[in-house]
């Protein structure tokens, strides 16, 4: 300080030296600049390291591939092939240098000269002709003698006529000679191309290596237009730089690489339909597109509202554009969650977009008093799973008091049973009832303890699909099923079905388990129900099996032996108390029982629970955690625990009305993915994926197949048919409809199918299992008809129109071929009222129905090779091997004749 002062003191400012100050500050400046550059380059650009590493890894990978290709090229065979080609090249080159080539060239030169000569002469003659013509005109104009010039014209024209063919002939010869010369050159070129092809993989890889070396680090970005929408609902441009680090995302061959370099799963399908340049990354995965540092790019930093969707939760992003689709093969968890909502009926209490028209999922309770035992009902309301462990009905956690109140309202509001034609009288045969239940088809949907599958577990069903495993369908389904189970992504065709295969009979829980049914229902009710379920409840899914009174009595008698009643003493008096009825009504209103059940007095009641149509975007402050401090403060945790146990958020002042569904962790997570997708944001119209008519037919049809559990009895899309396990005799199982090369929609006429679905008539008298009457309305029957047609790649409507009268000789031949002396078709096939000999087990379908039922194209296909369409069928192959004395043994003509005859059977 003193030194400084002394300096200042002794010299005036202008004379003071600032050298040291300058030096020090400029040094600092240099250091800071250096540090800034270093910091910018080294620490602020972590992506550079990723790129370097990716380049290194790719280089290694390509080098390995190159080594493999080189060694392939070094194999004795490849060497021999190359040596041979080299030899060929040399030979060809030698030929090029040899006398033959020289000869060809010489010939070409000669031909060229000849041609040039003649063609020039031709040209001269043409010119002279023009001149002569001029002189003719001139003579006419000058009114001179035209004779001389005209003679010259004629002479010249004659010369021209003579020379033109020569010109053409020589021209052709020249072309030929040229081709000859070229052939020598082409030989060499062709072989060289072949050699090039042989080493092409190696050169391609070498080029790739060189290009990797030549890469410089750069930020890669995609500008996405119109997919994101700002606060004012206007489409905006967004920038994604994700590919700066995710370098292998849109390139095949990096499937096994570590992240962030791995190829996108299902890249070909997903990027094929969603090119990265149009959709970017953030529109599906969320995160912070322009950021270039890991955590901020993934949006996993404070104040970024849309962090990366990890794991299966990314599937929620499919919904906005694919809102029409119920099943998305590449979004299995989302699709399954959607299906859970559909089955559980969440929409009974919550407003959920897409389920506006869905029916209530629980049974109608307006006639509950005549249906069930009051003691059973008490226990059921209190703990549904105590009776049916797999029931959808949730637990409301009611006290005994509340349970009594609810029950007393339900019973008091119950209406009398509709009038029945033949009431149940005791005395039905239990044994006969058991037999009927065993055979008639109840087991396609219901499970009854004590009636177990007779074969090995669904042997017959698996036999059907196994035999058809030639079609990749079943394999892909297995894989799809695996996806469903593991929640992992495996490669699979996109069109494959998603839903897990229908359960084996022992896990069958489509319809209630009847093992303890007698402890629940009244015999009178049961009788009228099995006789005609729709009579009791028009919207029920339970079909009619067209039981006679006797059969219904026997079935009732048998079912009433299953289970024991356990009366609760004094229950009746309690239930009759009027204060209970009023309290019950209040409770039903509060808990929303009418969301799933029809209850008298609640026909117009509103949904009781919050609207969930934008639930995925709920912010934390909108979620009520109550006193549940153990739950982490995230949307994910809140939702998970809400599903697992709603009561966790109940406090002294805030009740939780949602019942407990007893979800497993897995189920809660699946449902959470669907809830996360609940959003009112809509993309612009051009991004919405509309279903085609065909896709819609398939989607709607699958919905009905599931709704009516067609899969319980029939193999459809390679799945189902588990009822077969109850029939040891394979000939007694319901026919498969849609598996391998077998397509019901290709086989039968749409009109017939439509009518059959509405009112089934037995086709196969040897079956004890009955095709039920589902009482399908016009809409449902049409949907199913369209579905089967779409699966069979057929159009609807379809009508068989014979464009011209079939030839009489065809009809004659058809009849002859089918007669006893030839194919003897009616040895097994029925023909209207004419039945074959022997027991019905040995019969085959009625051929007089063929003209109304079957498509002629299918008949021909079937006759050609029935085993190919339905492996294991009883129908034997007649071809090849038709008789020689009909149409000279010509297979196609014979098949045509039989088809024609079948399509006119009964007419003559």
Residues that bind another protein (CB under 8 A): 454-455, 459-460, 728-731, 820-824, 827-828, 836-839, 841-842, 866-867, 871-878, 881, 883
CB of 460 to another protein, least distance (A): 7
- Residue 34 or 842: which CB sits closer to another protein? 842
CB of 877 to another protein, least distance (A): 5
Which residue's structure tokens are 């962790």?
665
- Residue 59 or 826: which CB sits closer to another protein? 826
Contact partners, residue 225, CB within 8 Å, separation at least 6: 235, 237, 278
CB of 527 to another protein, least distance (A): 34
CB of 723 to another protein, least distance (A): 15
735: left (phi over 0), alpha (psi -120 to 50) or beta: beta
Give all strands of the β-sheet with 742-743 in edge-to-edge order.
Answer: 719-720, 715-716, 738-739, 742-743
- Residue 684 or 873: which CB sits closer to another protein? 873
Compute the distance between CA of residue 225 and CA of residue 36 in angstroms, rounded to an integer: 35
Consecutive H or E run containing 154: helix 147-213
- Residue 257 or 875: which CB sits closer to another protein? 875
CB of 459 to another protein, least distance (A): 7
- Residue 265 or 838: which CB sits closer to another protein? 838
CB of 711 to another protein, least distance (A): 22
- Residue 538 or 880: which CB sits closer to another protein? 880
- Residue 87 or 457: which CB sits closer to another protein? 457
Of 290, 293, 287, which Cα lies nearest the Cα of 309? Answer: 287
Of 732, 607, 728, 617, which Cα lies nearest the Cα of 675? Answer: 617
Task: Annotate 737-785 with DSSP letters as a single string.
Answer: -EETTEEHHHHB-HHHHHHHHHS---S-TT-SS---B----HHHHHHHH
- Residue 201 or 728: which CB sits closer to another protein? 728
Compute the distance between CA of residue 499 and CA of residue 42 in angstroms, rounded to an integer: 50
Tell me 290's DSSP state: T
- Residue 15 or 884: which CB sits closer to another protein? 884
Q: What is the dihedral of CA 484, 488, 493, 499, to 10 degrees?
A: 10
Give the max Cα distance, the chain.
145
- Residue 234 or 729: which CB sits closer to another protein? 729
Please, what is the angle between helix 76-97 and helix 46-74, to 10°? 70
- Residue 271 or 766: which CB sits closer to another protein? 766
Contact partners, residue 414, CB within 8 Å, separation at least 6: 365, 366, 367, 368, 369, 370, 600
Q: What is the dihedral of CA 549, 550, 553, 558, to 10 degrees?
A: -140
- Residue 570 or 876: which CB sits closer to another protein? 876
Of 564, 556, 570, which Cα lies nearest the Cα of 524? Answer: 556
CB of 818 to another protein, least distance (A): 11
- Residue 49 or 841: which CB sits closer to another protein? 841
Contact 740, 846 (CB under 8 A): no
CB of 789 to another protein, least distance (A): 29
CB of 730 to another protein, least distance (A): 4
- Residue 261 or 862: which CB sits closer to another protein? 862
CA distances in angstroms from 782 to 47, 704, 756, 872, listed in the order given: 58, 11, 11, 31
CB of 829 to another protein, least distance (A): 11
CB of 586 to another protein, least distance (A): 59
Distance separating the N- and C-terminal Cα atoms of the chain: 131
CB of 880 to another protein, least distance (A): 10
Compute the distance between CA of residue 189 and CA of residue 85 in angstroms, rounded to an integer: 12
Cβ-based burial of 741 (10 A; exposed 0-12, middle 13-18, buried ≥19)? middle
CB of 764 to another protein, least distance (A): 14
- Residue 756 or 766: which CB sits closer to another protein? 766
Compute the distance between CA of residue 502 and CA of residue 267 in angstroms, rounded to an integer: 30
Contact 897, 810 (CB under 8 A): yes
CB of 817 to another protein, least distance (A): 10
Contact 411, 571 (CB under 8 A): no
Which residue's structure tokens are 């990314």?
314
Compute the distance between CA of residue 389 and CA of residue 664 in angstroms, rounded to an integer: 13
CA distances in angstroms from 144 to 140, 148, 153, 348, 435, listed in the order given: 6, 10, 16, 113, 124
CB of 894 to another protein, least distance (A): 13
């Amino acid at each position: 300080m003193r030194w400084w002062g002394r300096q200042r003191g002794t010299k005036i400012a202008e004379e003071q030296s600032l050298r040291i100050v300058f030096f020090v500050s400029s040094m600092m400046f240099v250091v800071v600049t250096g540090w800034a550059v270093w910091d910018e380059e080294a620490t602020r650009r972590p992506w550079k390291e990723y790129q370097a590493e990716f380049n290194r890894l790719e280089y290694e990978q390509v080098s390995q591939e190159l080594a493999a290709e080189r060694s392939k090229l070094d194999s004795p065979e490849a060497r021999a092939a190359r040596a041979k080609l080299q030899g060929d090249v040399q030979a060809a080159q030698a030929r090029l240098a040899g006398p033959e080539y020289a000869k060809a060239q010489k010939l070409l030169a000669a031909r060229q000269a000849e041609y040039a000569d003649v063609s020039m002469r031709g040209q001269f003659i043409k010119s002279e002709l023009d001149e002569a013509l001029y002189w003719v005109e001139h003579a006419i104009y000058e009114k001179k003698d035209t004779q001389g010039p005209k003679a010259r014209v004629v002479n010249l024209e004659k010369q021209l006529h003579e020379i033109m063919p020569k010109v053409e002939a020589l021209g052709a010869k020249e072309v030929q000679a040229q081709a000859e010369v070229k052939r020598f050159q082409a030989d060499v070129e062709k072989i060289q191309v072949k050699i090039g092809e042989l080493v092409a993989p190696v050169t391609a890889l070498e080029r790739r290596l060189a290009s990797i070396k030549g890469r410089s680090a750069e930020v890669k970005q995609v500008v996405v237009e119109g997919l994101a929408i700002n606060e004012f609902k206007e489409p905006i441009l967004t920038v994604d730089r994700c590919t700066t680090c995710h370098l292998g995302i849109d390139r095949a061959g990096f499937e096994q690489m570590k992240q962030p370099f791995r190829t996108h799963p299902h890249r070909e399908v997903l990027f094929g339909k969603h090119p990265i340049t149009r959709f970017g990354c953030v529109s599906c995965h969320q995160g912070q597109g322009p950021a270039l540092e890991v955590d901020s790019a993934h949006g996993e930093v404070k104040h970024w509202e849309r962090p990366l969707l990890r794991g299966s939760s990314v599937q929620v992003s499919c919904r906005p554009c694919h809102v029409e689709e119920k099943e998305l093969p590449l979004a299995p968890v989302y699709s399954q969650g959607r299906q859970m909502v559909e089955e559980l009926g969440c929409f009974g209490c919550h407003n959920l977009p897409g389920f506006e028209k869905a029916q209530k999922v629980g049974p109608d309770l307006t006639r509950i008093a005549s249906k069930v035992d009051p003691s059973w009902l008490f226990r059921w309301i209190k703990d549904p799973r105590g009776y049916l462990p797999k029931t959808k009905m949730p637990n409301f956690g009611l006290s005994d008091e509340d349970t009594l109140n609810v029950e007393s309202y339900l019973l008091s509001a119950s209406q009398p049973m509709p009038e029945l034609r033949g009431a149940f009288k005791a005395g039905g045969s239990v044994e006969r009832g058991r037999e009927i239940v065993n055979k008639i088809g109840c087991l396609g949907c219901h499970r009854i303890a004590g009636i177990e599958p007779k074969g090995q577990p669904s042997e017959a069903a698996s036999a059907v699909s196994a035999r058809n495993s030639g079609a990749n369908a079943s394999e892909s389904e297995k894989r799809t099923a695996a996806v469903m189970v593991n929640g992992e992504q495996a490669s699979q065709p996109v069109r494959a079905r998603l839903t897990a295969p229908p359960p084996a009979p022992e896990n069958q829980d489509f319809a209630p388990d009847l093992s303890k049914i007698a402890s629940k229902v009244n015999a009178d009710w049961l009788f009228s129900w099995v006789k005609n379920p729709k009579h009791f409840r028009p919207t029920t899914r339970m079909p009619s099996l067209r039981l006679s009174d006797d059969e219904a009595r026997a079935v009732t008698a048998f079912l009433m032996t299953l289970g024991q009643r356990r009366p609760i003493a004094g229950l009746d008096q309690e239930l009759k108390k009027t204060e209970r009825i009023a309290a019950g009504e209040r409770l039903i209103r509060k808990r929303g029982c009418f969301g799933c059940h029809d209850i008298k007095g609640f026909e117009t009641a509103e949904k009781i629970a919050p609207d969930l149509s934008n639930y995925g975007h709920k912010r934390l402050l909108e979620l009520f955690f109550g006193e549940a401090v153990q739950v982490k403060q995230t949307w994910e945790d809140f939702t998970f625990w809400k599903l697992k146990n709603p009561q966790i958020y109940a406090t002294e002042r805030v009740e939780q009305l949602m019942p407990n569904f007893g979800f497993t962790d897995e189920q809660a997570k699946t449902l959470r993915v669907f809830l996360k997708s609940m959003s009112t944001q809509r993309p612009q119209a051009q991004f919405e994926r509309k279903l085609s008519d065909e896709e819609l037919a398939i989607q709607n049809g699958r919905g009905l197949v599931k709704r009516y559990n067609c899969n319980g009895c029939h193999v459809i899309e390679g799945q189902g048919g588990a009822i077969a396990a109850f029939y040891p005799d394979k000939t007694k199982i319901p026919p498969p409809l849609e598996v391998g090369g077998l397509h019901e929609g290709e086989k039968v006429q749409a009109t017939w199918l439509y009518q059959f679905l509405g009112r089934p008539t037995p086709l196969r008298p040897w079956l004890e299992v009955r095709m039920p009457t589902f009482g399908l309305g016009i809409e449902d029957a049409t949907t199913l008809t369209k579905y089967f047609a779409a699966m069979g790649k057929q159009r609807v409507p379809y009508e068989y129109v014979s464009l011209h009268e079939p030839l009489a000789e065809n009809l004659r031949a058809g009849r002859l071929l089918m007669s006893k002396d030839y194919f003897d078709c009616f040895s097994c096939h029925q023909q209207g009222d004419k039945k074959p000999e022997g027991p019905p087990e040995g019969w085959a379908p009625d051929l007089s129905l063929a003209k109304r039922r079957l498509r002629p194209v299918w008949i021909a296909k079937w006759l050609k090779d029935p085993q190919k369409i339905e492996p294991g069928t009883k129908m034997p192959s007649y071809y090849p091997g038709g008789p020689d004395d009909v149409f000279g043994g010509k297979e196609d003509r014979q098949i045509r004749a039989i088809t024609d005859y079948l399509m006119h059977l009964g007419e003559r």
